[in-house]
Amino acid sequence: MKAITIDRYGPPECLKLADLPKPEPKEREVLVRVRAGSVNAADWHVMRADPFLVRLAFGLLRPKFKVPGADLAGQVEAVGAAVTRFKVGDEVFGCLSACGWGAFAEYACAPEEALALKPARLSFEQAAAVPLAGMTAVQAVRGFGRVQAGQKVLVNGASGGVGTFAVQVAKALGAEVTAVCSARNLEMARSMGADHVIDYQATDFTRQEARYDLIVAANGYHPISAYKGALGPTGRYAMVGGSGKQMTEVLVQGAWLSKGGQKLGNVLMKPDPKDLDFLRGLMEEGKLIPVVDRSYTLEQVPEAIRYLEEGHARGKVVITV
């Protein structure tokens, strides 16, 4: 089979297209014929070992896994003897970030709990855009944020991968949502259901009077103290993406600044079948529509990651296999 491989940390040029043996599913695994994948910030962070702490989880000198890629959508090609949730021919989608990666290939094996049935109304490309970014949004908004109907939620970086899902998940939960993004993406944010939109280049929301029950920093660039000042008395700040400086601030100062009823912290997504099913339900009900910026072929994965690194993607970047 064709697959993108990696044997060292570095720029996109370290990714190579190669021929590998077709994997065989273990007892509790499903073999998926991959029809589409998607690119996440996690892909380039791991690829470059940036920040350096990535090496502690993925290999000190070189990546532990041979084939990158977390998100996939495709058809079940074969199932292990103990698999009960899927059968050959089922259309599925899921996240492999906790089970060896490997989505940037023509075939991939995954534990059955890492997958869910693909909503019939979605294309493979749309479904592949969902898992990692979508579950991150769910865990930030519904998990860490504990959002209830009527609460005020602000999503900083609302036009990116996680941000587009966070806006829609918060709306589905009944929140009043403010989306912060660039001027060219304001109309897109409105189309996703945002009640209010802010052009970050024209207005600094941390200097306004409005206070929020939850701020999701999908692209954090303000000091943590500024986010704290924009929270209500029991507000929460969820850091899910941004520069190394912002990530460090949350790790070092988050617990100390979480005083009174406020809570400030980061959200590191952990694949959860319940969250994937929750997203699937929202999509089947038409309450969540994945936003796809552009599509690349398997051979173009390095180019796709390079584009995502530039920081201007609107929604998700997908890979058509």
Q: What confidence tens digit (pLDDT) does each residue in 248-298 have?
A: 777 767 777 788 899 999 999 999 999 999 999 999 999 999 999 999 999
Q: Is the peptide bond before 23 cis (omega within 30 degrees of 0)?
A: no
Domain with CATH 3.90.180.10 in the chain: 2-130+290-320
Whether residue 244 is predicted with pLDDT greater than 80 in this model: the reply is no
Contact in structure between 192 and 164 (CB atoms under 8 Å): yes
User: Domain 133-266 classified CATH 3.40.50.300?
Assistant: no
**Averaged confidence pLDDT in the chain:** 95
pLDDT tens by residue, 157-212: 999 999 999 999 999 999 999 999 999 999 999 999 999 999 999 999 999 999 99
Q: Beta-strand (E) ranges in 106-222?
A: 107-111, 115-117, 152-156, 176-181, 196-199, 212-217
- Structure confidence at residue 21 as a pLDDT band (50, 70, 90): very high
195-210 residue pLDDT tens = 999 999 999 999 999 9
Helices 131-138 and 161-172: crossing angle, nearest 10°? 50
Instruction: Outline which parts of the chain fall under CATH 3.40.50.720.
Output: 133-266
Q: Give pLDDT tens digits for 113-153.
A: 999 999 999 999 999 999 999 999 999 999 999 999 999 99
For domain 2-130+290-320, the question of CATH label 3.40.720.10 is answered with no
C-alpha–C-alpha distance, residues 303 and 301, integer Å = 5
Q: Cα–Cα distance between 199 and 183 in angstroms, integer?
A: 5
60-64, 69-73, 308-312: which has the highest mean pLDDT?
Answer: 69-73
Specify the pairing of strand 231-239 against strand 263-266.
Answer: parallel
Residue 11 CA: distances (Å) to CA of 4, 57, 70, 213, 309? 14, 19, 18, 39, 11
Task: Check if the beta carbon of residue 103 is closer than 8 Å to that of residue 37.
Answer: yes
Contacts of 243 (CB under 8 A, 6+ apart): 220, 221
How far is Cα 290 from Cα 292, in angstroms, rounded to an integer? 6
Query: Do 317 and 38 touch, CB atoms closer than 8 A?
Result: yes
**Threshold 0.85, pTM exceeds:** yes
Q: Is there a contact between 137 and 169 (Cβ–Cβ < 8 Å)?
A: yes
The predicted-structure confidence for 23-70, as pLDDT tens digits, reads as follows 999 999 999 999 999 999 999 899 998 878 788 888 899 999 999 999
